[in-house]
Structure 1
Amino acid sequence: MSTAEPDTVRTWLVERTYSDDELNLVILTYATPDGKRYYRKERALTSFTDAPETPVSVAADPGNLGDVDDPDTVEWYRSEATRMAAEHDVDDVL
């Protein structure tokens, strides 16, 4: 099992959505286990059959993390990040 590199923060996949603005753009949202910070990653799909693996966990640079201000979103992210961490190793993919 891998751990976060020094000077990084372990985040877990909490949401995967498709962009309304651009076709074939997937937005992956990862959150810290406490749900208070998030990391967003965008990925373009090159075709409808393109199904790249999605990491369940990412070691993110703290400077790339945003703050979650909404208490309901903090709770949702906390719950999902905790669930993902309990069900998966950090190197797992979906």
Structure 2
Amino acid sequence: MTDDATDGDATDAVQCWLVERSFDQRNLVTLVYATPDGERYQQRELSGNALSQIDVTAAREIPADELEDVQDADTRARYADEVASVREQYDPDEEL
């Protein structure tokens, strides 16, 4: 017998906030969205062309099963601080 109440938990969406955006020499853009506590994150690499086709907003709803754990305590603290800063300055759906 399975517990249906926990089966859907992994796909529940979590509001994550943009904490990092970087560019490299290969015209790739890395976006990092993190949970408010800085414990989990999603990192995406996009080409410059792909980036122009999507809206980069202050926050996104990300399925929980697509988030990774932040291993480093300093990074967790930095992400949590950055989320707090972004939340103060922007609405979740505001483009950055």
TM range (shorter): 0.7 to 0.9
Give the % identical residues: 37
Which residue in the other structure is 1:89 paired with? 91
Q: SS of 1:92's equivalent?
A: coil
Q: SS of 1:93's equivalent?
A: coil
Higher helix share: 2
Quote the Cα distance in structure 1 between the aligned partners of 2:88 and 2:34.
14
Which residue in the other structure is 2:69 paired with? 67
Cα shift readout 1:36-80 (whole Å, capped 9, x = no counterpart): 00011222113xxx6965211110010100000111000000000
1:3-82 aligned at under 5 Å gives the runs 7-19=12-24, 23-46=26-49, 53-82=55-84
The structure having more radius of gyration, on CA atoms, is 2
Quote the Cα distance in structure 1 between the aligned partners of 2:39 and 2:12.
18
Cα deviation, residue 83, structure 1:
1.0
1:13 partner amino acid: L
1:17 partner amino acid: S
Q: SS of 1:40's equivalent?
A: strand
Q: Which runs of 5+ in 2 are unaligned?
A: 1-10
Over the aligned positions, Cα root-mean-square deviation in angstroms equals: 2.0
